[in-house]
Amino acid sequence: MMIPVRCFTCGTVIGNEWEEFKERAREGEEDPEAVLDELGVDRHCCRRMLVSHEDLVDVVSPYQ
């Protein structure tokens, strides 16, 4: 599925950081910790939203 727009715990908007995080830390070579620090995602509740997210849209869509 797509990343939630807001952090489940504190409600901070984190959906806008996903594309850059994915490009740099998942597909790129950069350290996820450094990328999150640079994006200004300081709280660990918000950081886990990005670190633990997996895009499943392409996996699920053929079955709908």
Q: Closest Cα to residue 17, out of 29, 8, 27, 4?
A: 4
Over the Cα atoms of the chain, what is R_g? 12
Backbone angles phi, psi at 6, to 5 degrees: -115, 155
Q: Is 10 annotated as a binding residue?
A: yes
The least CB distance from residue 5 to Zn ion, in Å, is 12
Residues 5-44, mask of contacts with Zn ion (x by CB under 5 A): --x-xx-x------------------------------x-
Enumerate the known binding-site residues for Zn(2+). 7, 10, 45-46
Which residues make up the interface to Zn ion (CB under 5 A)? 7, 9-10, 12, 43, 45-46
